[in-house]
Structure 1
Amino acid sequence: MLKKYQKLFETIKIGSVEMKNRFAMAPMGPLGLADAEGGFNHRGIDYYTARAKGGTGLIITGVTFVDNEIEEHGMPNVPCSTHNPVHFIRTSREMTERIHAYDAKIFLQLSGGFGRVTIPTNLGEYPPVAPSPIKHRWLDKTCRELTVEEIKSIIKKFGDGAYNAKRAGFDGVQIHAVHEGYLIDQFAISFFNHRTDEYGGCLENRLRFAREIVEEIKKRCGEDFPVTLRYSPKSFIKDWREGALPGEEFEEKGRDIPEGIEAAKLLVSYGYDALDVDVGSYDSWWWSHPPMYQEKGLYIPYAKIVKEAVNVPVLCAGRMDNPDLALKAIEDGACDIISLGRPLLADSDLVNKLRGGKLKSIRPCLSCQEGCMGRIQEYSALNCAVNPEACRETIHGLTPALKSKTVLIAGGGVAGCEAARVLALRGHKPVVYEKRSRLGGNLIPGGTPDFKEDDLLLVAWYEETLKDLGVEVNCNTELTAEIIKSSEADTVIIATGSKPKIFNLGEYNNVFTAEDVLLEKVNSGNEVIVVGGGLVGCELALWLAQKGKKVTIVEIQKKLLALNGPLCHANSEMLERLIPYKGIEVLTSSKIIKTTEKGALVDAAGDIREISADSIVLAVGYNSEKSVYEQLKYDIGDIHLIGDARKVSNIMYAIWDAYEVARNI
């Protein structure tokens, strides 16, 4: 162990339960990890066990519902400890016993429901509920007000669910949640709670739901069975469906810090054994599920505020994968436990690797949210963009090759690197050829903005991993069709990526690609027109604006990010709001006609005008580069086309395609 990080591996107690280190796995929606009767399926059992095996001291499952009658969730969306208790206990017992074998602890996260924030793909035809008749977060519907009898029923089911969890071997539970604007949080916030009975009005009444839940669980399970709470001391709500950006001045409509401190003290006095702190709401989703545009460790100041107000352990998540940042948070007294969510999706062995001093071998999370929240949002499935094995550890894992083959790989972008990694792990002999001076492909320019630093960390991880695996890498070498034909390779993989689309805009030569500007091969000047409002164009514009440039985005579609997707709403909504917040002008339904001496002539939704610019930067997409494949596809028996060379997409599909092909060679 690196002595520097020794404090992160000290023991700590939550109530009566002792953790072997200061790391917890943050709860993430276990979509796809349940069976038809509400138990954990083998995907779920293997997924959580892998993180315990990887050294995490406390596993906190994603949300499991206690009620499926008042707020129906369309079983089997996620596990449920009350739907079929015998079956839940049987499947969970297998999981908790395996997790305990690694000296890890596990808490079951119990939810009272989503209320007005239920994601439409999970809602089906069921009517949304809430503390009062308020607007739904996503749909043009008014929620139905819960009756007192229904509230009492949910509270009783919390007791039933926790009792079943205890029988199943869980070491405690976490209540979901007085955070992020979920149902119990909607009761706690006056903006959402307009009731005049004992569950509305003053703060103590609005917290009554949360109070009666912990009291019921303690009555059923005993005082020594820990009950923790996911808790947000600040909501960042400007208005219905409108959240605030970092640094923005606004009037808080949700819970603000003074009430957040008071509520934290009350919740602990009610019997909660620890508070798991974040900030935000579904109306400001980029706080609750921080994209790469948020700074790392963004919850630390809020965790410290709570920590100074209460005398129970405080957990802190929120882009905490930098061990120096995590250590400082513990040493400064901001929190007691470091909670890792997406970083443990990306690398289940993160904690053990840190403990062993193998920092370079930790696969980084990109905060892209394409494999996790994006897929939960669109397909009700939890996965990871950079780790194809996440949530399918055994059914999708690797097996040794029956016969070792020599595999030539054309292209050293993420698809080529992932293919080489998987092939080497299986016992094949991959040889990578990259025509540029280093591996990484489009991640090199893409990772230039400071908010995309983890893209470059992923490149560095591949470089380190391939080196450790002994993979032969030939940079500054293009693998041509002639070289391949003359080789004695058993298999060929074409991962030559894609090239930026370029078109003629007239006689002036101040037109550049996004790649050239990001790599600073050219000087963009102080006034820049970015042609294209997709993800590349918007991130480029944001980066340029942060450097003090005057930027205009010209987008032919009716809105920004129209052709990208599915992006997690937290990412897309934050980026969409950052664009005007940073002073970037946006012209939609518009197109460049031609360059001029002063800049460019633009058709801005039918209004023809000249816009002053030092440069026009094209961010209008990419074309697959597969010329080598086209030359070879009839001559090579075992040849595969993967990544952007097959179809221009994103990092996730480049990695997933490569993994799938390489695991079956």
Structure 2
Amino acid sequence: MSTKFKELFEPAYIGKLQIKNKLSMAPMGPVGYADALGAMNQRLQEYYVERAKGGIGLIITGICSVDLDIEGLVRPGLPCPTQNPLAFIHEAYQMNERIHAYGTKIFLQLTGGLGRSALPGFATKFIAPSENENRFDPRIRHREMTIEEIKNMIQKFVMSAVVAKKAGFDGVEIHAVHEGYLLDQFAIALFNRRTDEYGGSLENRLRVATDIVKGIKAACGPDFPVSLRYSLKSCMKGIRRGGLPGEDYEEAGKDIEEGIEAAKILEAAGYDALNVDAGTYDSWYWNHPPMYFEDGMYREFGRLVKQNVDVPVILAGRMENPEMAIEALGDSCDIIGLGRQLLTDPYYPEKVRTGRLDEIRPCLGCHEGCLGRISNAPVSCAVNPACGREKIYGLVPANKKKHVLVIGGGIAGMEAARVLAERGHCVTLCEKSGSLGGNLIPGSVPHFKRYDRALVKWYQRQLELLNVEVRMNCEITAENISDFKPDEIITATGSKPIQSKFGSEAFAATADDILLGKAEAGKNVVVIGGGLVGCETALWLAQNGSKVTVIEMLKDILGGHGALPHMNHDMLVDLLAFHKVDIHTSSTVKSIEGGKVTAKTPEGERSFPADTVISAIGYRENHALYDELKDLDIPVHNIGDSQKVHNIMYSIWNSYELAREL
């Protein structure tokens, strides 16, 4: 074991329950992983068992509904202990036996519902503590719950905990006075305008949460651990308006003072641990941090809670840097929570324990594979295609070993080479430049894209460990391809920025040119194109002191809502406004001349001063080599951006699929 991180692997306690180390798997929603009876399906079981194998001390499952009928949740969707208790027990008990074989403990997380935070399509009954409009669609009105419904929900929590104990879970976690879900809506005065025993004072607004833990302790015994997912602060400027880190604003939801007082009330009621974060659905990027956050963004909140309660504090929020995690122990928390990092790499704990940090596959903070696709498919991971389908989509040895030539050292080429080599094929990867990484080389220049850089380094290390022959500065042509004597060929030659004229003669520098330092940005910068590349380049330049204008021909930047995961979209939009990036949509460039850009805008023709003009209007597939080779007498495959320009996730996923089956 690496002595450097020994403290992370000493035992922790929640109540009388001993956990083998101080690492916990943060709860992440198992939407789509329930069977027809509301039990955990086999894919979900394998998902949790894989994390136990990887060395985590405590698993806290994603949300399981205590009663699907409260909100008329669609089925099969979330697991539910009360839908068919016997079926739930049978499936979960078998899973927990396997998890316990690795010395890992597991809590079942229980939710009362979504309230006004229900994504349209997930619920058919719209309820809330008081009448409220839906977070995502203000046309949907949520009616006030009756006292009978509230008491029934509390009882369903107790029933679910009893089922969980019978199913072999080591404890339960209550979800949540957190993230603006139903129980948090009861706790926040902005959403709870009741005048009965469940509204008014802070004690009344917390009554649902305190009655739940008291009921569970009475039914399951005082030593059965009950933790609470708890947001100390709402980080809201108003309805659907989040407050950025470092921004000065008046808190519209739960402020720190009230949050600390609530934590004391919840501890006194009987909760054995507080699993701390911050935010609500109105400031959703706080609960699901994109790459634009600094690491450890909840540490200040964990510290405040820990100073005011005596029960253990669990803290996540991009805590995967083990040195940061050790600094946080005893100061901000007692147990480190790991969320998306365990989707990306289930074996993170064991790799840290044995000092193999360069083998940890990094989470990008992109949300594309996890929450970004949750409306259409179960949770997975952009850089780990086997996540959530460990047994049915893992890698198996190749039946017939082949020599495969991979042309192109971007993400798609490296993923194909990695998977092929892991399956036992002989792989040669040729990259015509002197660096691996492709479009991630310029794309990872901004500080907030640091995990993209880490992904490139991870691939480089994997190719070394797998003994892939990597040839740099090696350009493959139709004339020299026979020198390699391949059995099959994969072209992964990527894409190139689209270069267009603006006006009669003027060209703009590409975003890649600026990011790579081939062109220098001046004081006044105009970015043509408000997609992801254009907006992230604009943000980076604004953070570095330039006055930036973005001109986008469509009515919305970033492709509008839904093109990016919601939390990433909202935080980037807020950051652009915070850094005073001037954005003009439904606008087109007419000319670039005389140190200015002239554009047609909805307000008429306008000119913008420009020392530097940057074109970020997209990328075009570079499949010329594939076109030359596709008619050879051996199989030739085209993958990644050279097949279709897409995001990192599909470059990896499509390459994994091809290389897994070849």
Normalized against structure 2, the TM-score is what?
0.98
Summarize the alignment of residues 171-320 of structure 1 with structure 2, pairs less than 5 Å apart. Answer: 171-320=170-319
Distance 2:458 2:254 in 1: 40
Shift in Å, 1:602: 1.2
Match of 1:525 in 2: 522
Q: What amino acid is the match of 2:44?
A: G
Deviations 1:422-454 (A, max 9, x none): 001100011111111111001111100000000
Match of 1:97 in 2: 97
Q: Does 1:397 align with 2:394?
A: yes
Summarize the alignment of residues 325-364 of structure 1 with structure 2, pairs less than 5 Å apart. Answer: 325-331=324-330, 333-364=331-362
SS in 1 for 2:572: helix
Match of 2:27 in 1: 27
SS in 2 for 1:424: helix
SS in 2 for 1:250: coil
Deviations 1:574-595 (A, max 9, x none): 1111112101000101111121
Distance 1:520 1:34 in 2: 50
Distance 1:100 1:250 in 2: 46
Alignment check: 8 A CA contact 1:66 1:81 kept: yes
The 10-residue stretch of structure 1 (624-633 or 600-609) with the greater mean CA deviation from structure 2: 600-609
Q: What amino acid is the match of 2:59?
A: I
Q: What amino acid is the match of 2:378?
A: A
Shift in Å, 1:563: 6.4
In structure 1, which of residues 630, 634, 647 is the aligned counterpart of residue 631 of structure 2? 634
Q: Does 1:502 align with 2:502?
A: no
Task: Give the 4+ runs in structure 1 shifted more than 6 A.
Answer: none
The 10-residue stretch of structure 1 (1-10 or 533-542) with the greater mean CA deviation from structure 2: 1-10
Shift in Å, 1:122: 1.7
Deviations 1:400-425 (A, max 9, x none): 00111000001111110000110011
Distance 1:476 1:72 in 2: 59
Q: What amino acid is the match of 2:589?
A: I
Distance 2:236 2:248 in 1: 12
Summarize the alignment of residues 216-615 of structure 1 with structure 2, pairs less than 5 Å apart. Answer: 216-331=215-330, 333-376=331-374, 378-506=375-503, 511-562=508-559, 566-605=563-602, 607-615=604-612
Q: 1:545 to 1:560 in 2, by over 3 A?
A: same
Percentage of pairs with the same residue: 53
Q: 1:540 to 1:253 in 2, by over 3 A?
A: same
Alignment check: 8 A CA contact 2:5 2:326 kept: yes
Distance 1:566 1:98 in 2: 39
Alignment check: 8 A CA contact 1:67 1:154 kept: yes
SS in 2 for 1:601: strand
SS in 1 for 2:161: helix
Distance 1:388 1:121 in 2: 26
Deviations 1:368-410 (A, max 9, x none): 011011011x314201000001000010011100111000001
Alignment check: 8 A CA contact 1:131 1:192 kept: yes
Deviations 1:242-281 (A, max 9, x none): 1111111111111001110000000000000000000000
Alignment check: 8 A CA contact 2:210 2:269 kept: yes
Distance 2:296 2:633 in 1: 50
Match of 1:168 in 2: 167
SS in 2 for 1:143: strand
Q: What amino acid is the match of 2:639?
A: I
Shift in Å, 1:606: 6.0
Deviations 1:69-107 (A, max 9, x none): 121211210111110111100110111011000000000
Q: What amino acid is the match of 1:350?
A: Y
Distance 1:218 1:409 in 2: 59
SS in 2 for 1:80: coil
Alignment check: 8 A CA contact 2:586 2:602 kept: yes
Distance 1:640 1:120 in 2: 40
Shift in Å, 1:510: 6.5
Distance 1:118 1:606 in 2: 37
The 10-residue stretch of structure 1 (633-642 or 655-664) with the greater mean CA deviation from structure 2: 633-642
Distance 2:403 2:596 in 1: 52
Match of 2:108 in 1: 108
Shift in Å, 1:306: 0.1
Alignment check: 8 A CA contact 1:534 1:564 kept: no
Shift in Å, 1:168: 0.6
Alignment check: 8 A CA contact 2:508 2:614 kept: yes
Deviations 1:483-534 (A, max 9, x none): 2245421110011111000011246666200001001111121111101101
SS in 2 for 1:617: strand
The 10-residue stretch of structure 1 (195-204 or 598-607) with the greater mean CA deviation from structure 2: 598-607
SS in 2 for 1:209: helix
SS in 2 for 1:21: coil
Shift in Å, 1:480: 1.6
SS in 2 for 1:223: coil
Q: What amino acid is the match of 1:232?
A: S
Q: What amino acid is the match of 2:368?
A: E
Q: What amino acid is the match of 1:236?
A: C
Match of 2:135 in 1: 137
Alignment check: 8 A CA contact 1:541 1:584 kept: yes
Q: Size of the alignment, in residue pairs? A: 661
Shift in Å, 1:564: 8.5
Q: Give the CA RMSD over aligned residues.
A: 1.2
Distance 1:483 1:87 in 2: 61
SS in 1 for 2:441: helix
Alignment check: 8 A CA contact 1:534 1:563 kept: no
Q: What amino acid is the match of 1:457?
A: A
Distance 1:506 1:441 in 2: 31
Distance 2:471 2:94 in 1: 47
Unaligned runs of 5+ in 1: none
Distance 1:481 1:555 in 2: 40
Shift in Å, 1:115: 0.5
Distance 2:224 2:560 in 1: 49
Q: 1:179 to 1:564 in 2, by over 3 A?
A: closer
Shift in Å, 1:637: 3.1
Match of 1:146 in 2: 145
Shift in Å, 1:599: 2.1
Alignment check: 8 A CA contact 1:122 1:380 kept: no
Alignment check: 8 A CA contact 1:599 1:615 kept: no
The 10-residue stretch of structure 1 (27-36 or 310-319) with the greater mean CA deviation from structure 2: 27-36
